[in-house]
Amino acid sequence: MASQAVSALAPESRRSSQDPAGGRRGPPPTNPPAVTLTMSALKVGDSFPEDVAFTYVPPAPESDIKVCGIPQKFDASKEFKNKKVILVSVPGAFTPTCQASHLPSYLNNRDALKQKGVDQVVVIAFNDAFVMSAWGKANGVTDDYVIFASDADAKFSKSIGWTLGERTARYAIAVDHGKVVYASQEDNSKSIDQSGAEAVLAKL
């Protein structure tokens, strides 16, 4: 009886690898690879993209680095339509080149930037909004002429292809009422020859 049971099941087992019409099935379907949509790097004359937002802690007159504020959304696409703004990206808050030369180039040229009609400087990095806020406080920034914001997960920087590994790359983008008037990424991450305030001022 046992041999009859095996014999009766064998044809069904053999048919399991065939389709109902008797043909042999192909390999199981596979999901297509995930696709990451990336815009090309921004260039002069482009419109600043829509739906770009960062998070930041609004600056306050007190600069106690131990006091945490509440992160808020900074709608860059909306804000940049009505202002002349410089978006400055650095690989990380408190890191050597960023702290020693890149950020000071903007803080020390505040008056020169205003003379060129710049309404605001927005400094971004992949750090969270709390770290960015602390960086601003550590440098004595107490108003919103220079704000420190988080490009969380380097989302915006990845979208334009300007990253340093998983970090935001070092670059500067000047936007005049929604239009890009300057955009450049550093070839050497330790240099500010293309993204420092002096370089941007020369192009405004």
**Which amino acid makes up residue 197?**
A
Measured CA to CA, the distance from residue 143 to residue 165 in angstroms comes to 32
- Strand segments (E) across 61-170: 72-75, 84-89, 120-125, 146-150, 163-164, 167-168
Two tokens, residue 23: 């043909």
Residue from 57, 76, 98, 147 carrying the catalytic annotation: 98
- Other CB atoms within 10 Å distance of the CB of residue 12: 8
Whose CA is closest to 185, among 202, 160, 165? 160
114 dihedral zone (left: phi>0; alpha: psi -120 to 50; beta): alpha
Two tokens, residue 196: 């420092």
**98 belongs to the catalytic site:** yes
- Catalytic residue set: 98
